[in-house]
Amino acid sequence: MKIETGDQVLIISPDEKTFLVKVSEDKNMGTHKGELKLGDCIGKSFGEKIYSNLEHPFLLLEPTLEDKMMKVKRHTQIIYPKDAAYMILKTGIQSGMRVIECGAGSGSLTMALANAVAPNGMVYTYDVREKHLENAKMNIENAGYSEYVEFKLGQAQEGFDQKDVDVVILDLPSPWDGIASAADALRGGGRIASLSPTYNQVEKCVENLEKNGFVYIETLELLLRYMQVSSGKTRPVDRMVSHTGFLTFGRKIIVEDFADEQFRQFKAPIDI
C-alpha cells in the first residue's frame, strides 16, 4: 500500500509538530524546519520518512479518525474524540444505521458518525448556519466521508425529514428545541444523545427528555488525563482539559403503550 496523489498523510516533524496534508505531486509546504515537497510522499509507505530541503527528517503516518477530527478547519468548538467515541458506542451506532445529527458544527462529530455507519448507513446532519454547513461539508469531503453524509439546512424545531432513524445526536445551545423532533424521527428503542457544556442545559434537557417519552436517561462526563511516561519518573501530566461537556443519553419508547407518564419509572441504574 503505497501513498498516492490525493491521499491524506499525517506528517510529523522531529519536534512534535504535526501536519495533515493531501498529497499532490507539485505542492510544497513550508515548515519551521525547511520546505517539504509533498510529491516526495508518493510511492512511500506509511511509516517511512522524507526530508525537508534543510535535511530534517519528517515521518509519514496514516491519519486516524482522531487526527482527522482534531485537524478540521474550525468554525465552532469541536467535539472531542473521547466524547464522540463514547456517544457512538453507547448509542449503539454501527455499520448500516441511519443517524441524525443536529447541528453539524465544524463536522468533527459528523466524521466520526459517518465512519461508524459506513459502508451501508447514512448520517443526516442539520445546521441553521449556512456558513458552518459549508465548512463542515468541506471538512467531511477532505476526510473522505462525503458518501455517508447528507447536509441539511434547517432548524431542530421544524422537525427532521427522516423517520424511523436509529439514533439522533443533538449538539445545540438549546438541546430541548430538538427533543420533540427527535422523538418524532426515532423508531421505538432508538437512542438520543446530547452534548452540552453547562449543567443548566443538562437540567433542562433531561426535563424535556422525560416529557417526550425517553427513558433510561443518563448524564455523565468523561475526563481524559495524559501520563508522562519515562523510566523511573512516570507521573500524570501537569495540566489537563478539565471539561469538554456533559453527555446526556436516553432511549425512545412507544409512548402510546403507557398510561400517562408511567414510563418515567424506567430509569437507568447508576452502575457503580
In angstroms, the CA 186 to CA 176 distance is 15
Task: Give the nearer residue to a second copy in terms of CB position, either 26 or 47.
Answer: 47
Question: Please, which residues bridge with residue 180 across strands?
Answer: none
Indicate which single residue of 85, 128, 138, 180 sits in contact with a second copy (rule: CB under 8 A). 85
Task: Give the nearer residue to a second copy in terms of CB position, either 26 or 119.
Answer: 119
Q: What are phi and psi of 91, to 5 degrees?
A: -85, -5
Task: Give the nearer residue to a second copy in terms of CB position, either 105 or 121.
Answer: 121
For residue 221, the minimal CB distance to a second copy (Å) is 5
Written as one string, the DSSP assignment of 151-181 is: EEE--GGG--S--SEEEEEE--SSGGGGHHH
Are the C-beta atoms of 247 and 192 separated by less than 8 Å? Answer: no
Indicate which single residue of 6, 55, 229, 260 sits in contact with a second copy (rule: CB under 8 A). 229
Indicate which single residue of 37, 49, 152, 211 sits in contact with a second copy (rule: CB under 8 A). 49
Closest by Cα among 182, 202, 8 to 111 = 8
For residue 204, the minimal CB distance to a second copy (Å) is 9
For residue 133, the minimal CB distance to a second copy (Å) is 24
For a second copy, which stretch binds (CB under 8 A), given 27-35, 122-130, 153-161, 224-232?
224-232
Amino acid at 16: E
Q: What are phi and psi of 22, to 5 degrees?
A: -100, 125
For residue 268, the minimal CB distance to a second copy (Å) is 7
Are the C-beta atoms of 186 and 93 separated by less than 8 Å? Answer: no
Are the C-beta atoms of 176 and 107 separated by less than 8 Å? Answer: no
Q: How many residues bind a second copy (CB under 8 A)?
A: 102
Task: Give the nearer residue to a second copy in terms of CB position, either 153 or 240.
Answer: 240
Of residues 95 through 154, those in contact with a second copy by CB under 8 A are: 95-96, 112, 115-116, 118-120
Amino acid at 71: K
For residue 154, the minimal CB distance to a second copy (Å) is 26
Indicate which single residue of 26, 55, 260, 265 sits in contact with a second copy (rule: CB under 8 A). 265
Report the first-to-last Cα separation within the chain, whole angstroms.
Answer: 46
Of residues 173 through 212, those in contact with a second copy by CB under 8 A are: 187-191, 197-200, 202-203, 206-207
262-269 long-range CB contacts below 8 Å, 24 or more apart? 263/213, 263/215, 264/210, 264/215, 266/215, 266/216, 267/215, 267/216, 267/217, 268/216, 268/217, 268/218
82 binds a second copy (CB under 8 A): yes
For a second copy, which stretch binds (CB under 8 A), given 19-27, 34-42, 90-98, 154-162?
90-98
Task: Give the nearer residue to a second copy in terms of CB position, either 26 or 265.
Answer: 265
Indicate which single residue of 57, 157, 163, 261 sits in contact with a second copy (rule: CB under 8 A). 57
156 binds a second copy (CB under 8 A): no
Closest by Cα among 13, 110, 104 to 69 = 110
260 binds a second copy (CB under 8 A): no
